[in-house]
Each structure stands twice: as C-alpha cells, then as structure tokens.
Structure 1
Amino acid sequence: MSLRRFLVDPAALAVGEVALAAAEAAHARKVLRLAPGAEVELIDGQGRRARGVLTRLDKSGAIVRVEALEEAAPPAPRLVLCPGLLKSPAMDLLAAKLTELAVDQVRPVLTRRAVPKADGGGAKLTRWQRLAGQALKQCGAAQAPEFVPPAHLAQVLAAAPASAGKLLLYEDEARTSLAQALPGLAGAAEVWALVGPEGGFTPEEAAQAAAAGFVSCRLPHTILRAETASLVVAGVIRFAL
C-alpha cells in the first residue's frame, strides 16, 4: 500500500520536525484515521518530497519527523499549456487533470470566442492552486503547475520563447494532424501548446499565432470539447516526446 501523502508549505519542508497545516492534520486524524508511528510522505508542490513518521497526531495538530529529502527531476520537455479561458467547472477539471499530466505551467488565454471574462484572476488562481494540490496528493506527482493569470492572446504569444517548440490546435486546419506535427517538437527543451475555447480560435487568431511561430494542427475524426482537447494535447506531448 502506498504511503499517505500530505502537502506542506515549501518553506516548512526540512529534515527534522515538520508541522502539518491544520486542514492536513484534521484529514489525517478524522478521515484517514492515522495514528502516531504511521509512515507518511510529504510533498511541497515544487518538486521536493520526503518520507517521515507521524510523531504526534491529536486535536492540537500533527508533527512529522522527516529524516531525508529528495528533489524529483522535472519531466522533459518543459510543458506550457495555453487553453482558451473556459467556464469554471471546465477550468477546475483542467487544474486537477493537468497536474496529473505533469504540465509545468498553465496560461489561460482570453480570446474572442471565450465565454468567461477575466476578473483579475486572484480568486480563480487560488482555487486552481488548491485543486492542483489535492491532485498532487492523489497522483503522487512532485510538482503542481504554475497558474498564470488569464491574458490576451497577443500577450501569450509574445511570452513564448523563440527557442520553444510551438503548437496550435486548430479545428479548421486542413493539412496537418497532431501526429504529423509532433516530430517537429522533438528535442525541444520547452513546448508551448495553444488550445482554443468552446468556440475555437477565429481565423484571425489562428493567423496571429502562425505568425508568432506556432505550428497549426488538428485532431482527426472528431471535434473534442475544449477541456478534452487540452487534456489530449498535454497527454500526447508529455508521454510521446
């Protein structure tokens, strides 16, 4: 049986005694029914993990004795997913599932056909980070994606490094499939992938992305929901390159 995992503040994770946050301690005691002496795993969401032993678990909190830390090597290539901003349930799903797929950074894009509008992003970012933290504990990944506030397409295109592999999933692409575009990403240290919102990209937005060096491609046979397309692209890039 795998060890129970708990998320801790990066500044708190160190060899020695580590106190769990109140919510994590309550979960260990009330839901998992752990007891002092149980072996557990701690993760900080930024690539470090540790094994330890619960030395105290009661109503006042929980203490874990950490004896060793390890730094998990990030998967390659670095993956930046740029989905068109979706309604809250779909974005919440992506926050969890893109964590499982080891996406490094998520940059929601404000496009012409996006239904929701930016609201400053603070509350949404906090929620996405919380959902990613929950997903980390379930899937065992060492690092959660960095969530960047929603930005307009031109800003996202300008942020992509010139050396990065760049992919645009576009349903009106007539010639190139995702499978045909993948070899062009081989060897790239960093890959940026653009996926449209519910209504897809406009032809003008697709042309704007192409001018910025993004290779347009499509999925054959069917048009997927926007959140499904994001998961497909992330999974293919993460596991096929």
Structure 2
Amino acid sequence: MRVPHIYQASSIALNTPVSLNDDAAGHIGRVLRMKVGEHVSIFNGEGGEYFSEIIEVTKKSVVVMPLRFDEHNVESELNIHLGQCVSRGDKMDFTIQKSVELGINEITPIFSQRCGVKLSGDRLEKKHQQWQKIAISAAEQSGRNYVPVVHPPVDLKQWLEQHTDEIKLTLHPRAEHSIKTITVPSAGVRFLVGPEGGFTDEEMAQTKQQEFVDIRLGPRVLRTETAALTVLSALQLQFGDLAN
C-alpha cells in the first residue's frame, strides 16, 4: 500500500509528536480510516519529508511521530510562474491542479477585460483559499515536498508591471515565435495565458510594452485550460526536468 503523503503547515522534528492540522487529520482519520501503528509521510514545504507513525487517532485529531527524515526531491530545476486569466466553472480548478502536477512554482489568477468571472470581497477571498487548497492537494498527490504558491488574484495590468528577471511569454495562436526558439535564463519563465474570450488588442499592446514575447504552440487554437498545460509540458520537456 502506498504511504499517504500529507502536507502539515507547522514545524516538524524527529521523535517529536505532531498533531496534524484539521484537513490532514480528517483525511487520515475519516477518509482513509487509518489506525494507530500505520504510517504516513508528512512534509511542511521546507524540503524533504518525514516518514511517520500514527500514535493517536480520535474523531477530531490525529497525532503522528516522525521517525525518519528523507531528502526526497522531485522538483524541476526550471522555475515557472503561470499568469492564468480566471476561467469559468471548474476549469480554473483543473488548471491549478494539473499545473502543480506538472511542476509549476507559482500561479497568479488574473482578471482581464474578457474574463467571464466576476469575483470580489469575501467571495474572492474564499475562492483564493480554495485554489490554494487545490494546490496543496495536488502537491500531496504528486509526491512534491513543496507547495506552489497561488497568489491573490490581480488585474492584468498590475501583473504585467511586476518586476522580474524571468523571461516573459504570452501565448498567441498567430505569434511569430515558436517555444523552441526561446532562451530561458536561470531565473526561469513567466508566461501568460488569456481568458476564454482572448485578449483585446489593447491588452496585447500592454504585454508588448512590458517586453512579453508572443509565442505559439502550433497551428491550432487551444482552450485556455489546454494552453497552460501544453506550455508547461513543453517547457519541462525542453528546459526542465524532462530535458535530460
């Protein structure tokens, strides 16, 4: 049986009992119905993982004992930051989940003129928390020991103006440049994926003003959720953990 891989947002030390947070305890105790004496792997996002034994299970809590630290690392050497215009329904959830599985480091949800999703106030805060939980769950499932950051959503102009040493890319079906022609600096890649309705001419002009390079992925027009994952796969294949 595969040992469950669980994120624990606290300090962890060998031979020191750890009370799992509510989400982790619920998953271990109520969903998996694990018992005292069984094993889990816990990580706190600081690198490596702790092979641990369950020493207490109640209806509301689970306590584990870290027995061994393993410097297990499945991270890509390529740093990738996705700027994803918010999509409708569960498409955004899907994009975040699969991006984490494919090795993303940072995700910023973006609002643009043709973005079909309107959120603000408490609804926006709850949605942001939900997206971060999806990233945590995807990190657990894929065996990562780091949790990618889902930044608070921002307007497109604000994100474009952020300073970065990463190469800046914009997906466009009629771009002159292929992803094969770019050179990636050590700082990594920051790439932008538009909304379901596409960017306006004004927004495309803004990307060029901020020195974003238009790239294409092929002759076909991809849906927003397909485009992000295709770029991630292509970047990992050419420059990241699948390049060697």
Tell me, yes or no, if structure 1 residue 154 matches structure 2 residue 167: no
Query: Helix, strand or coil: the match of 1:143?
Result: coil
Q: Given the superposition, is the C-alpha separation of residues 31 and 150 from structure 1 closer, same or farther in structure 2, using an over 3 Å criterion?
A: closer
Query: Helix, strand or coil: the match of 1:82?
Result: strand
Q: Distance in 2 between matches of 1:164 and 1:25?
A: 38
Tell me, yes or no, if structure 1 residue 170 matches structure 2 residue 172: yes
Displacement, 1:118?
A: 4.0
Displacement, 1:210?
A: 1.8
Residues 90, 227 of structure 1: 8 Å contact kept = yes
User: Which amino acid in the other structure matches residue 228 of structure 1?
Assistant: T
Q: Distance in 1 between matches of 2:111 and 2:197?
A: 12
Q: Distance in 2 between matches of 1:200 and 1:178?
A: 19
Query: Helix, strand or coil: the match of 1:56?
Result: strand
Q: Distance in 1 between matches of 2:142 and 2:115?
A: 30
Displacement, 1:48?
A: 4.4
Alignment of 1:42-81 (within 5 A): 42-69=42-69, 74-81=75-82
Q: Distance in 2 between matches of 1:12 and 1:107?
A: 27
Alignment of 1:191-230 (within 5 A): 191-230=189-228
Residues 98, 145 of structure 1: 8 Å contact kept = no
Aligned to 2:8: 8
User: Which amino acid in the other structure matches residue 141 of structure 1?
Assistant: R
Q: Distance in 2 between matches of 1:23 and 1:128?
A: 15
Q: Given the superposition, is the C-alpha separation of residues 207 and 129 from structure 1 closer, same or farther in structure 2, using an over 3 Å criterion?
A: same
Displacement, 1:72?
A: 5.8
TM-score, normalised to structure 2, is: 0.87
Aligned to 2:34: 34
Q: What are the superposed Cα offsets for residues 119-167 of structure 1, whole Å, 9 maximum, x if unpaired?
A: 1431111000111222122111112221112222221111141x21111
Residues 79, 238 of structure 1: 8 Å contact kept = no
Q: What are the superposed Cα offsets for residues 178-235 of structure 1, whole Å, 9 maximum, x if unpaired?
A: 2333xx22x4322100111101122222222122121111121311110110111122
Q: What are the superposed Cα offsets for residues 30-65 of structure 1, whole Å, 9 maximum, x if unpaired?
A: 332322221210022454421111112233522111
- Give ranges in structure 1 of 5+ residues lacking alignment: none
Residues 76, 189 of structure 1: 8 Å contact kept = no
Displacement, 1:3?
A: 1.2
Q: Distance in 2 between matches of 1:102 and 1:21?
A: 25
Aligned to 2:146: 143
Aligned to 1:126: 129
Q: What are the superposed Cα offsets for residues 91-140 of structure 1, whole Å, 9 maximum, x if unpaired?
A: 11122112112211111222121111341431111000111222122111
